[in-house]
Amino acid sequence: MPNATPNATPKISKDTAGLQSPSTSPLQEFSTLELAQALAERLAIAPSDWHRLKSNRQARAREQAASALVFLLNDNQSEALPRLQQAQGWLDRSISAPPCPTHGRKV
């Protein structure tokens, strides 16, 4: 069995939002807003996944919370608050999935 080298602990620095992050991270080249936008894009439910994930409380809460973070970082609290409330509603089960927007329509 080869000798394992312990992982080096990276230095911790503060980013523009005041959060601690490794100073050696390749993510340092991106702003906090850019990272939040990338996260929101990653967590957004695609139309092709709507039926599968429309009632998934974790997926819906993550999507709303990430979106709220983007609005907060853009100093738009009036848009962030309803999204945070939606995320909370998914987690505390006070809201549930709306019907599919394409069902029940007459074409």
With cut-offs at 50, 70 and 90, classify the pLDDT of residue 23.
Answer: low
For residue 52, pLDDT beyond 80: yes
For residue 74, pLDDT beyond 60:
yes
Task: Show the 3-state SS of 11-43.
Answer: CEEECCCCCEEECCCHHHHCCHHHHHHHHHHHH
pLDDT for the residue numbered 12:
43
Mean pLDDT for all residues in the chain: 82
